[in-house]
Structure 1
Amino acid sequence: MIETIEVMTDDEGKFTTNMTVPEDAEEGDYKVATVDPKGVEQTRDLRVTDKDANTCAAEESITVTPSKVKAGETVTVKGQGFAEGQVVEITVTGEDGKQVEVSIGDAAAGQLITIDESCGFEFKIQLPEDIKEGPYTVDVNDEDGKTIDSGEFEVVGSNDNNGTDNDGDNDSDNDNDGLANTGAEVIGYSVLGLLVAAGGVALTVMARRRSQRG
């Protein structure tokens, strides 16, 4: 048992309270238990992890801009939410399903890229002068060849809009909220789902003694 506190429920038998995870709490799975005056107990799971274990909170995603370019110009690819040290492969494919040989910085399309501590990347793709007009897909693949995310751009003729248009970005905003906290961080642990008899309840956190550390 780590900590026990008493809270009062409202008229509907509900309550919300905050608990602080101790600085020295070990990583692992815990139980948050409520016990009413009659001894009826209900529990919820809580996992404590190292707050620095995953600093890349965003979901893995890329954006490709601009959405329209001419042959010989460049498109910019930005990625976020990738884990430091993760290795990804970048490919560019035409609507016929064939990969296109393009220049990615100092590398060639299809070369593996290692994610740095920023959890993302940004580079320009130099398109060939003789690339055909039409839609193209930029894929970011994992080491097994599975596509993580994709973006698109279109190669247009000289009389078409050539790149002031940034439509087609595939940014995705996702919260990666969770209950994982350490130190003096306060968990807003809502247990509205635990309906108990009106009156005082005891809220207890108990460890399963199963550490997540390797």
Structure 2
Amino acid sequence: MTDTILIADDHPLFRQAIALAVGRVRPDALIVEAGTLAAAARSAVEAADLKLILLDLKMPGAVGYSGIAMLHAERPSVPILVVSSVEGHAAADEVRAFGAIGFLRKDSDLATIEAAIAAALSGAALAPQQAGEDAPLETIRQEVAGLTPMQLKVLLAVLDGQLNKQIAHSLGISEATVKAHMTAIMRKLDVRNRTQAALVARSLGLDLRH
């Protein structure tokens, strides 16, 4: 069966550039492109023999690092390599905290991108946790990364200030189901109410608008 590689980026020209790099590394791969987070999540679910996801953080439907968390929840065994123009020295550590295997800047040269794709496809291990990393914070990040796709959607809606009735309507589920998801989210994040859940998620940069 042909390996599938998902390229999720809202800029067609950059998708072409990444597709070129993929083609050089894995010429026989089936390349699937997505321009929004919703389309990427759909493709991640439907793609057969998905081997790698190449993801931009700045996509329609994505807020902060939510794209990584969402796609990781959909296909936890598939490596996610972030290729983005996000600034900040902490970006590489943050993307790993939410489930990605690594981070590349968009201005990296083609050879660097090709090498990273090849390493990801070969099953390169996650970079080790840096000395001095706050253990409780890392644990919470892992819990957020472990939320189900629907739980993430509910949490992002809470971050957006939506009430349970609004969340239920937008996601096509009942209010009782929203409450059940919120109960599970609060248990996983070890908080007592939705406000605390939102504060925890915000403190981790989940709603950081890049």
TM-score normalised by the shorter chain: which range applies? under 0.3
Give the strand-richer structure, 1 or 2: 1
Q: Which has the larger radius of gyration?
A: 1
TM-score (norm 1): 0.19
Give the helix-richer structure, 1 or 2: 2
